[in-house]
Amino acid sequence: MKQHGLPPLVGGFSDGKVTWQRIESIDYDTLGYLLSCHLIIEHYLDHLLATHPGADFGWEGARLTFGQKVALISGLKFPEPYNFPPAIKHLNTLRNRFGHNINAKLSEEDLLPLRQLLVKCTEKSGTPDDVPSEPKEVLSLFTSLACTYFAGAIWHRARFVGTER
């Protein structure tokens, strides 16, 4: 598959001249995957908030930021070990880093808060070695677990709380 290049960045100014910075080492695959995970989690956050009792104030039109949505769910009770808001907040920090620096790299250390939550969630069924350390695998498992948990909460509210959304 042919790789498509992007224009260089303005590197700065020196002696009345512009310097250019080529951006040939972007990891589009990881960047795109991280952004996709962020978008999918936001989709579930939207529905989780919309089905919460007392959400009849038309919040969909409020155009809340991702951070504001995470702040809202942070007030909900999450049974241990499923305390997702801090890890989701960290994911948003990573997304913002990529959103403001196209040369940002994603390391295993960057994903430590997500991995630590995954280790806590799998303690009874496996060992910490069962939790991946490769960035895309951590993102995949974390996103799947968070969205599965939120899907169960959304289903429960729709079924038993009587939400008509």
Q: Does some domain include residue 101?
A: yes
Sorting pLDDT into bands at 50, 70 and 90, what band is 103?
A: confident
For residues 156-161, average pLDDT? 81
- What domain range is 120 assigned to? 27-161
135 domain residue, yes or no? yes
Task: Report long-range pairs for 59-68 (Cβ below 8 Å, ≥24 apart).
Answer: 66/38, 66/42, 66/92, 66/95, 67/92
The answer to whether residue 18 is domain-embedded is: no
* Structure confidence at residue 165 (pLDDT): 43
Region 3-11: what's the mean pLDDT?
A: 81
Whether 1 is covered by a domain: the verdict is no
Ramachandran region, residue 67 (left: φ > 0; alpha: ψ -120 to 50; beta: rest): alpha
**Is the pLDDT assigned to residue 1 strictly greater than 60?**
no
What is the pLDDT of the chain when averaged over all its residues?
Answer: 88
Identify whether 67 is part of a domain.
yes
19 in a structural domain = no
pLDDT, tens digit, for every residue of 35-80?
A: 999 999 999 999 999 887 766 656 666 789 999 999 999 988 999 9
| Interval 134-156 mean pLDDT | 95
pLDDT of residue 109: 93
Q: Give the amino acid at 112.
A: L
Pair 11, 103: CB distance under 8 Å: no
Stretch (H or E) spanning 70 = helix 66-74
Task: Indicate whether 15 belongs to any domain.
Answer: no
Question: How many domains does the chain divide into?
Answer: 1
Identify whether 123 is part of a domain.
yes
pTM score = 0.85
Contacting residues for 129 by C-beta, under 8 A, at least 6 apart: none
**Residue corresponding to tokens 């224009």:** 7
